Amino acid sequence: MSRRGELVVKARDVSKTYDQGRIRVLQDVTLDVGAGEVVALWGASGSGKSTLLHLIGGLDTPDRGTLSVCGLDPCDEASRTVLRRRHLGFVFQLHNLIPDLTVEENIRVPALAAGRGVVETAARVRELVGQVGLSHRIRHRVQDLSGGERQRTAICRALMNAPRLLLADEPTGSLDEQTGGAIFGLLKELAARERVAVVLATHERRFAEACDRILRMRDGQLSEI
């Protein structure tokens, strides 16, 4: 299920259950995502979108099936850390920023994990906040920001290490319609500019339709629309 050459995500027959197999969340999911592709995982709450994103991002491990992300196995601890540092960016519904840190400090966290140089990091932060229109807020603490500004900060953080794949889990879910639209537009624009593939979990049809592909999640199964 990919229209591009190089694959950044390759999932084969992935299944996941919780509560000792009693709750079946994903069933034999197969998915390919090409480089630079923007794919929507569209479905209702509880359909398994977030779980699939977590498996792709190595935050959780599947019960069955195989996964390859940017050529690495997200189920392996060492590969997982490399993946998160170099190849993956996450954006969550609730921004998950670190309170008491400034916008700049939050954006720098992935660079800190990757051990990137101070000068290089500073230049990258300036570039990113400029792109999302947050230059004037760079020294502000995140608790002083609006919901939209926080999500823009989270997007910058996700893009800090120039990842190849961005995993966005309902990034507009906690925002009003207008701000959500703006954030989605920004996310898509930045992904295109940075040539990042995006897997977007959303329950909103309008955002799914604006993506390159829509994959519908229903009862833990994936189908292309």
Q: Which is nearer to other proteins, 5 or 20 (CB)?
A: 20
Q: Which is nearer to other proteins, 23 or 225 (CB)?
A: 23
The residues, ordered by sequence, that sit 6+ positions from 7 with a Cβ below 8 Å of its Cβ are 32, 33, 34, 35, 68
Q: ∠ at Cα 5 (40, 76), nearest 5°?
A: 70
Binding part of the chain for other proteins, among 2-10, 34-42, 79-87, 201-209 by CB under 8 A, reads 79-87
Q: Determine if 85 is a binding residue for other proteins (CB under 8 A).
A: yes
Q: In whole angstroms, what is the distance from residue 72 CA to residue 70 CA?
A: 6
Q: Which is nearer to other proteins, 50 or 68 (CB)?
A: 50
Q: In whole angstroms, what is the distance from residue 167 CA to residue 88 CA?
A: 7
DSSP-derived pairing of the beta strands 165-169 and 88-91: parallel
Site track 35-64 with other proteins (rule: CB under 8 A), x = hit: ---------------x---x--x-xx----
Q: Determine if 152 is a binding residue for other proteins (CB under 8 A).
A: no
In angstroms, give the least distance from the CB of 225 to other proteins.
27
Q: Determine if 164 is a binding residue for other proteins (CB under 8 A).
A: no
Site track 88-127 with other proteins (rule: CB under 8 A), x = hit: --x-xxx-xxxxxx--xx--xxx-xxx---x---------
84, 124, 164, 203: which one binds other proteins (CB under 8 A): 84
Closest CA to 159 of 207, 108, 115: 108
Q: In whole angstroms, what is the distance from residue 218 CA to residue 214 CA?
A: 13
Q: In whole angstroms, what is the distance from residue 107 CA to residue 98 CA?
A: 10
Size of the residue set binding other proteins (CB under 8 A): 31
Q: Is there a contact between 58 and 153 (Cβ–Cβ < 8 Å)?
A: no
- CB neighbours (10 Å) of residue 107? 28
Q: Is there a contact between 134 and 97 (Cβ–Cβ < 8 Å)?
A: no
In angstroms, give the least distance from the CB of 182 to other proteins.
21
In angstroms, give the least distance from the CB of 3 to other proteins.
29
Length of the chain counted residue by residue:
225
In angstroms, give the least distance from the CB of 142 to other proteins.
12
**Interface residue list for other proteins (CB under 8 A):** 50, 54, 57, 59-60, 77, 81, 84-86, 90, 92-94, 96-101, 104-105, 108-110, 112-114, 118, 157, 161
